[in-house]
Amino acid sequence: MLGDQRVSGEREPHYFGIRHLSPAGAYHLLSLLDEVKPTAVLIEGPSDAGELANQLVSRGVVPPVALLAYTEQLPVRTVLYPFADYSPEYQALKWANQNGTHIDLIDLPTEVSLAQLERKRRSSSPIEEERPDLYMRIAELSGEPDYEAYWERHFEHCLEPGVYRSAIAHFSSEMRALTEEDEFRLSPKEWAYNEIRESHMRRKIRDTIEAGHLPEKIVVITGAHHTSALSLKFPVMMDEELALLPRVSTRMTVMPYSYYKLSSHSGYGAGNMAPAYFELLWQCIRQREPDRLPALYMSSVATRLREQGTWRSTASVIEGVRLAEALASLHDGVRPTLKDLRDAATILYGHGEYSVIVEALAKTDIGTAIGSLPEGVSQTPVQDDLNRELKRLKLEKYKTLVASDLDLDLRENRQVKSEESAFLDLNRSILLHRLAVLGIRFARKHHSRQTDATWAEHWVLQWSPEAEIETVESTLKGETVELAAAYVIHEELLVCADISEAAKIIRRSGECGLPQVAGQAVAVLQQLAVDAGNFAQIAETVLELSILLQYGSVRRIDTEAYLPIMRQLFLRGCLMLVEASGCNDDAAADMITSIHAMNAVAQEHYAEVDEALWLSKLKELAARDDRNAKLSGYAFSIVLERNIAGEEDCAREVARRLSPGIPADLGAGWFEGLSMRNRYALLSRDYLWRHLDAYIRDLEAEPFKRSLVFLRRAFGTFEPREKASIAELLGDIWGTGAEASGEALQRQLSEEEKEKLDELNDFDFGDL
C-alpha cells in the first residue's frame, strides 16, 4: 500500500519542539509554517478536542483561554490546556485556520489522560525533585542567576532563522538523555505515561500520512521533550493497545483564562514567571523591533509607580534601560532579560529597595488580563446560563480579576417602572447566594455596613479561572444555576439529621429563591422537631426561624409556616433551660451563645412567643446554686438588663455569691458570667463593686490566687476605657481618689509584681 511505503520510507514530517508559552517558539514556528506551507498541522493536545480547538481561534475570542476537560461523575476531576496569544500551539491553530489547513490534536484523548492522571496523583515522583537541581546546575554553568534567565537569554532572544529550532532540538534531546534513566528508575509510572503518550502521538502521525498527506507537508508541534521520540522508526500504538488503556467518561468545554493562572506564581507547572512581560516581548518580536522591549518595559514600570503616587522621571527610565543593557552585556547577551530589567528597575526606581517597586513589577510582569469568549463558542449549559444571568442583572462588569464591592438594597425600588428594575438588587442577591451554594467563588458576602438592616447586603465580587472551573463542575448538578443550586440543597436535606441544620437549609433556600425546596425543608424540620431534645440546637433553630421571619417580607418569602414551629420550639427551649445549665465550664461557652439567641428572639418576637415564661426561667437559673455558676451569673445579667431585678436584688445576690464561704472558682465564675453582658449596667451600679471589693479583701492567700485567675479572665475582655472607669469607682470606694487610681492602673508593673504574676501562672489548680 502507498501508505505503508510512506511509513516505512526515510521521509519524516517536520518536527518542531517548543516550550509552552514561548514567544520565540511561536515566532520561529510561524516562519516554518510559512516556509513549508503544510497540508496538515499536528499539535500536542487532547485528540478528542475536535471542533473545540477550532473555536479557540474563532472571531471574538480573546486569549488567554483554555480547553477544560472534566469527568462526568462526582467527584469531578479536571485537566486544563491553557493558551496565551504567544503560545506556539495557539499560533499554529490560527495559522491553520487562516490557511485552510487540516489540523489535528494528537495527544491521548481526555478520557484516557484523566484516568492516567488520577493514577499518577496517587504515586510520588522523586524524579520531579531531582530535575530542579539539574536546571539550577545549567544556570550556574552558564553564569545566570536562575534557569529562567538562562532560557530567555539563550532561546527567547535567539531570532536568527533556523538557529532556534536546531538549538532547542539539541538541548531537549540532551536533557532527555540525562534524565531518562533516572526517570525510569525513580518514577516508572511517569516514564510509562510518557511512553504511552508518545506511542499514541506516533500513531496519529502515521494515520495522517496514511490519510494522504506527504510527510514533508506535515508539521508536528510538541513539547521539546517529546520531539526526539516521535520519529516513525519507533513503534506506534496498536488498536488493541489503545483499547486496553483505562478510561473515564469525560466532557470538554472552552473557558476564559487569566495571566495570573498562566504564571508559575499560581502553581501552574508549564507557566512562566511573567506572562504579561512575554506578551510584550511577543509584540516586539512580531513587529521585528525586539530592541524596543527594554524601553517599553521600564516605561511601563514607571507608569505603574506613578499610578501608585510614586513619581519617577523620564531620565530614570533612560538610565534604567542603559543599566539593563549593561547588565546584559556582562553575560554576553544581545539584549536584557527580565532579570536584568527587574534589577535595573530595583536600583533606579526603588533605590535598591525591592519593596518599593514590587507591586508595579507584578502588574508589569504578570498583569491582570483575563480572556473572553463571544456568544456561540461552545460552553456548558451552566456557563451559558450564568453568562445570561450576569447580563440580565447587569453584573457583567464585575467579571474581572479585580475585586469590587457591591452593596445591595433588597427592598422594592418604587421609583422605577418595571418589576425587573424594582427588584434588581433582590434578584442579584438570589443569584449570588446560588453561586455561593454551588461553591463558585465569584462573590463573598461580608457583614453589611447597615448592621441592623435585614434589607442590606455587602458583597465583594472577583472572577477567576477557578470560578469558571467550578461553574463547569456544576453542570453535573443541573443545566442552570437555579437547578444546580436546588440539587445541592436537596442533597443536603436528604442527609439532614438535626433541626438546626434543617433551619439553615430553609434559610439558604429562601436566600436562593427556591420556595419549593424551602417547603421540603420545613416538612423535614417539623418531623425532626418532634424528638428535638438538645437546648443548643433548639436555640439555634429558633434564631434561624426568627431571622427568616424578620426578612421574609423583604425577600418576598411566605413565612406563614415558620411561626408555629418557632413558637413550639421556643416553648420547649424555655422549659429545658435550667436543666441544660447543669454543665461544666467547657459546655457553658456554647450554652451562653444559646441563651443569648433565645433572649434575642424573646425581645424581637415578644408578641409571638411566651416572653414571660422565658424571663421566669432566667430568674430561676439566676437564683439556682446547683447550676453552672457562670451561666447563673449570665442569666442574672439579663435579669438586671431587663430591669426585673432592682438594687436590693443585686446587692443580695452579690453578697450571696461573693462571700468567703463560697469556693473561689464558683464566686469568680459567677462574676465572669455576670460581666459578659451590658457593661454599662455593671459600671453604673457602685454597690456591686463595693461587695466585690469586700469579697476580695476577705479571701485567704490560696483562695485569692484561685479567684484571681478567674477574675483576670473576666476583666481581660473589658476595654481600656471600661477598666479606667472601674479604677475610678474603686478609687472612690477606697478613698484614694479616682484620678490616683487611674494613674496607678496605667503605670508599668514593677519587677516584683511581674514575679508575682509569673507565680500565678505556675499555680497548681489541681482538678480545676
Domain boundaries, the chain: 2-257, 275-365, 382-481, 496-645, 676-768
DSSP per-residue string spanning 469-536: HHHHHGGGG-SSHHHHHHHHHHHHHHT--SHHHHHHHHHHHHHTT-HHHHHHHHHHHHHHHTT---HH
Judging by beta carbons within 10 Å of its beta carbon (0-12, 13-18, 19+), is residue 761 exposed, middle or buried?
Answer: exposed
Per DSSP, the three-state class of 198 is: helix
Backbone phi and psi for residue 446, each to the nearest 5 degrees, phi listed first: -110, 170
For position 370, what pLDDT does the model report?
A: 84
> Could you tell me the mean pLDDT of each successive run of 10 residues in the chain, 768 residues long?
38 93 96 97 94 90 90 80 95 96 96 81 53 83 92 93 88 89 84 93 97 97 94 94 93 87 62 89 96 97 93 94 96 95 96 93 90 81 91 93 92 89 95 96 79 78 89 86 94 92 94 93 92 91 92 85 93 96 90 95 94 96 92 92 81 75 76 78 72 76 72 72 78 77 72 72 49
Q: Judge whether 435 and 443 are in contact, CB under 8 Å.
A: yes
What is the rounded distance in angstroms from the CA atom of residue 647 to the CA atom of residue 610? 26
Does the predicted TM-score (pTM) go above 0.75?
A: no
With both helix axes pointing from N to C terminus, report the angle between 188-210 and 163-186 in degrees, rounded to the nearest 10: 130
Q: What is the pLDDT of residue 653?
A: 82
Burial of residue 452 (number of CB atoms within 10 Å: 0-12, 13-18, 19+): exposed
Amino acid letter for position 83 = F
Sheet with 250-256, side-by-side order of all strands:
78-83, 65-71, 250-256
- Return d(Cα 555, Cα 510) in angstroms, integer: 8
Inter-CA distances, 333 with 27, 291, 533, 752, Å: 20, 12, 77, 68
Query: Phi, psi (5° rounding) for residue 82?
Result: -90, 155
Distance of CA 543 to the CA centre of its chain: 29
- The whole-number pLDDT of residue 271 equals 64
**Distance between CA atoms of residues 273 and 263, nearest Å:** 5
Rg of the chain on CA atoms, in Å = 36
The answer to whether 681 touches 673, Cβ cutoff 8 Å, is no
Whether the CB-CB separation of 552 and 410 falls below 8 Å is answered with: no
C-alpha 149/C-alpha 158 separation (Å) is: 13
Q: Is 47 helix (H, G, I), strand (E, B) or coil?
A: coil
Distance CA 534, CA 497 (A): 13
What is the DSSP-derived secondary structure letter of residue 750?
P
Q: Cell numbers 444559646 correspond to what residue?
A: 594
State the pLDDT at residue 227: 93
Q: Measuring CA to CA, which residue among 84, 6, 43, 53 is closest to residue 226?
A: 43
Indicate the residue type of 543: L
State residue 479's pLDDT score: 85
589 to each of 157, 249, 673, how far by Cα in Å? Answer: 65, 50, 10
Can you give the pLDDT at residue 279? 96
- Between CA 161 and CA 28 the distance in angstroms is 7
CB within 8 Å of 548: residues ≥ 6 apart = 506, 507, 510, 557, 559, 562
